[in-house]
Each structure stands twice: as C-alpha cells, then as structure tokens.
Structure 1
Amino acid sequence: MKLNGGVNTKVADDNLAPVTALELRALPARITLISHAPTLALKRASFPLDAPLPEDEIEKVATQGWTAPQAQYVCCGPEKRTQQTAEALSLEPSVAIELADVDYGTWNGKEIEDIHATDPEGLASWLTDVNAVPHGGESFAHLIIRVQRWMKDRTTAGHTMAVTHPSVVRAAILCAIQAPPESFWRIEIAPLTLTDLRFNGKQWTLRVAGCPVLLK
C-alpha cells in the first residue's frame, strides 16, 4: 500500500511499457469508482468507524478472481475498509485522502436509531440539508466540493481506478452530471458496485453506475 497520496504511474499490465507524461496527457480521461465491500456498520445501520472488514466479506471478494481493467492510476480512500477491498481485488493502490468518507463527527459508531432517539431534529436536518452538520463533522456540500476538486485533477490523468465510499461515488456522479447538491440523497450506491465516468475534453459524462463488481 502506497501512502504518499499519489498513484501508480504505469499501466496495470507489467508487460507493457510505462506511460510517459506526454502520452498520458493524450489519453482520454476516465474514472472507475468501486464502492467498498459491506461492513458491520452497514449491517447494523450505524455510522461507520475506521474498522476492518468482516473476514467473510474479504474472502468473498478475494475468491472471485476479479480482473481489473487496465488503468494508469490506482488509488483508494485512507480507511481500512477501502484498502482491504482494494487488496482483496488484487489491486495495489495509493492512498488518496481526497477519497475519504464523510466525517460524521460525534455520530461515528452510533446507530441511526439511537441518533433518532436523542437528536431527531439533527437527524432530520442531516437527511434534508446538504449543508447541515449536526454531528459537528463534515457536510455533504463540503464533500461534493472535495470530490469535484479531485476530479478536476484527473482530467489529464488517463484512466484512474479508485476504491472508495458510496458517499464519494454519489458526490462524483453529481459533479459529473452537474446535478444540484440537493440531489445527493436521490442516488443509491450499493457495496461492491462500479461506477464509470468519462471526460470528453470539456465535461464529464456518466457511463455506468451501480454495476455489481462480483458475480452473485
């Protein structure tokens, strides 16, 4: 696992020669986003902590023998669940802090039912207002801006493959189709699904979203 925040500068196939900076700029830009494997927090309907994936989920991914498409850059979020998903998919990613999950502040590790019981107004505002931060962490509006900046850096980067979080994927889709931030909650991204974005030199387009990575 690389920890410099950068990404690989050669194609995935070791039999191919490294891509030069000039050749890289000439390649059409593409981002393939993969949402991480299911977590215990997801099963418990709770806000996540930086906990490892369940062993059975790691094994399920690893035994599928998934073959990654060729990419010039491979990266993942800094959390254990994204790094372990990438490794189970036989990827060798660099860590990109821009792909981190939303910071849920004081809600981290708590079940949604508990929040509803103790702070119903805060939960309601969080579910309807992308600028709301009742937990004192990061708003979805800030997440969208963060992802948009990251995507701007990828417009001349060839094919980028990133293992990240459903929230980050949703933000990337909004940025690609230039939808209003308020549409954030109208997008559902399941675990271990693939979303593909393409850049035509002027704008991003959504090629596919929510495609299962593994066979059922």
Structure 2
Amino acid sequence: MNALRLIAAGHTPALRRAVFGGDPHLDEAGHHATVALKNSPALLPRHFPDDQPWLIAPTHAAQQTATLLGAPATTTEPALAEPDYGTWTGNTLDQIDPAGLHQFLTDPTATPHGGESLTTATTRLTAWLAQNTTSRRTAIAHPLVIRLLIAAALGLPPSTRSLAVAPLTVTRLTHHHGWTLHL
C-alpha cells in the first residue's frame, strides 16, 4: 500500500497567538501533548514501518515534534515549508491591514504581503504529493501545510477553510489511482 501519514506539528506560542510565519519552538503544552501522542495507535508502525526517515518541514516545531514522537530518523523537506508571508512574517492578525488580510483570505492567488500565495504554496505541495505516491512515508509540518496537502490530495481549492487541522492531528492518505483520505 502506498500511503502518507501526515502529522501536524505541536503547538507553539506563535500558533496560539495567530502569528504569521517565523520559526518558533514548541511551547510547554505542545511539548506535553506531543509526548502524550507518542503511544497513540495512530503512530504504531503497523502501516508505517520505521525503515525510512520521516520527512519534516524546515522548522523547529516540526523537528521537535519528530524527536518527541520518536522518529527513527528525519530528513528535512523544504517543500513542506509554510507559505512565505513576506512583510507579514512575525505579525499577528490585528497587526495586518484588514483589507490586505481580507484579500489574502478570500483570494488564494493574492499576495498582499509580498510573499507566497496559497495557490503557489499549493502548487509546491501538489508537486511534492506527486513525488510521494509509491511509498509509505511519514511527514510532519505546520497545520496549515497539512490542510493544504489534504485539500490538494482531494482536489479542493487552496482557500478551503472548511478543513480544520489542529496541532498534532494525524491524517493518513493512501494512493491508488488517486488519493484517499482515511480518518
């Protein structure tokens, strides 16, 4: 079976405050929740043997999540990075121009921050999905990246806000003539 196990990185202070981008470490609650998840049935090696390194986003939170979950080894995967938020990086929602924020949230091609649009990020993630249809892999990334991966796998638009991915969510996708989501 060809499959991807996608794990949303644990909570960080920036995620709790809705800060755009940056590279924060897990907060104390995120650390404890990740340790608690380690023995979850979703992480048992039955479907995902530990013979391949886990692919992780280039962030402290993804690396810490992998370490706390006992990843056998990790490989940093640049394609799993959060979108580049340009001039918004490090800012909270209330620090962003409301018109620009509205544009970003309603138009997936918009880049009012001068960074990467959700459409561009989804194109990058769709290409990554296409390269990972023939093996069993585990990947850890920011919850937004996991949401964009799921949307791309299911052929949904990148602006789909009806998908909510919480920190430490474990999602499984299998591939056989297309992606299937397993909950």
Q: TM-score, normalised by structure 2?
A: 0.88
Letter in 2 for 1:103: D
Residue of structure 1 in register with 2:55 after alignment:
75
Alignment of 1:74-113 (within 5 A): 74-91=54-71, 92-113=73-94
Residue 127 in 1 paired to residue 105 in 2?
A: yes
For the Cα contact (< 8 Å) 2:154–2:179, is it kept in 1?
yes
Alignment of 1:39-188 (within 5 A): 39-62=12-35, 65-66=38-39, 67-69=43-45, 70-71=48-49, 72-73=51-52, 74-91=54-71, 92-115=73-96, 119-156=97-134, 158-183=135-160, 185-188=161-164
Q: Deviating runs (4+, > 3 A) in structure 1?
A: none
Residue of structure 2 in register with 1:190 after alignment:
166
Q: How many Å apart are 1:55 and its aligned residue?
A: 3.8
Residue of structure 2 in register with 1:11 after alignment:
none
Letter in 1 for 2:142: H
Equivalent residue of 1:206, what SS?
Answer: strand
1: CA distance between counterparts of 2:152 and 2:114? 24
Equivalent residue of 1:52, what SS?
Answer: coil
Larger Rg: 1
2: CA distance between counterparts of 1:83 and 1:65? 14
For the Cα contact (< 8 Å) 2:105–2:159, is it kept in 1?
no
1: CA distance between counterparts of 2:113 and 2:181? 32
Residues 120 and 179 of structure 1: CA distance in aligned 2, closer, same or farther (over 3 Å): same
2: CA distance between counterparts of 1:54 and 1:131? 32
Q: How many Å apart are 1:187 and its aligned residue?
A: 1.2
RMSD: 1.6
Equivalent residue of 2:23, what SS?
Answer: coil
For the Cα contact (< 8 Å) 2:21–2:82, is it kept in 1?
no
Unmatched segments (≥5 aa) in structure 2: none
Letter in 1 for 2:16: K
Q: How many Å apart are 1:68 and its aligned residue?
A: 4.0
1: CA distance between counterparts of 2:137 and 2:7? 11
Unmatched segments (≥5 aa) in structure 1: 1-27, 209-216
For the Cα contact (< 8 Å) 1:59–1:88, is it kept in 2?
no
Equivalent residue of 1:181, what SS?
Answer: coil
Q: TM-score, normalised by structure 1?
A: 0.76
Q: How many Å apart are 1:65 and its aligned residue?
A: 4.1
Residue of structure 2 in register with 1:211 after alignment:
none
Q: Mean alpha-carbon deviation: is it higher for 69-78 or for 38-47?
A: 69-78
Q: Relative contact order, CA 8 A, sep 6+: which one is greater?
A: 2
Q: Which string of whole-angstrom CA distances, capped at 9 and with x for unpartnered residues, describes residues 72-96 of structure 1?
A: 5311101111111111111121110
Letter in 1 for 2:60: K
2: CA distance between counterparts of 1:80 and 1:113? 25
